[in-house]
Amino acid sequence: MISVLIDTNFLIYSFDKKNDLRRIFDESVTDSYALITLDKCIGELNRLKRKDVISWCKLVGIKILSSPPYGKTDFLLIEVAKKYGYYLLSSDRALLQQAKSKSIKTLSVGGRGIKFSTN
């Protein structure tokens, strides 16, 4: 199974662009997969008053993982992805570069589906 950890910006982007994440993954991945985000990302969505995105996450079936109470969101995304071997899905180039430098597998979504980077 492929486990994919999604950051806040990508959740907002996917909702605003009406990306059907399930369809994109179904068409691009032959293995089973799980879409995951951190409770810290949900907290950021609450602070941004994006309850619409939170509702969409539940509708799409994105699992919300409890994260440690310390640290900034990007730090925790890196830490959790590394600890559990998750792929990190983000549109934040700096975050993806940081993940790659720590040998974390990353994903990006483009016009032709999903691009895997296994470092």
pLDDT at 109: 74
For residue range 16-41, list pLDDT tens digits in order: 989 888 888 888 787 899 999 999 99
Mean of pLDDT over the chain: 90
Residue 80 pLDDT greater than 70, yes or no: yes
- In this prediction, what percent of the chain has a pLDDT beyond 70? 92
pLDDT of 106 higher than 90: yes
pLDDT at position 110 is 67
- CA dist 62 and 35 (Å) reads 5
| DSSP state string for the chain | -EEEEE-HHHHHHHHHTT--HHHHHHHH-SS-EEEEEEHHHHHHHHHTT-HHHHHHHHHHT-EEE---SSS-HHHHHHHHHHHHT-EEE-S-HHHHHHHHHTT--EEEEETTEEEEE--
| Domain at 2-117: CATH code | 3.40.50.1010
Rounded CA-CA distance 32/1 in Å is: 5
Please give the structure tokens belonging to residue 65: 């993982």
Higher per-residue pLDDT: 58 or 110: 58
Torsion of CA 105, 110, 112, 115, to 10 degrees: -10
At residue 108, does pLDDT exceed 80?
A: no
Contact 86, 103 (CB under 8 A): no
Give the pLDDT confidence of 38-68 residue by residue, as tens digits. 999 999 999 999 999 999 999 999 999 998 8
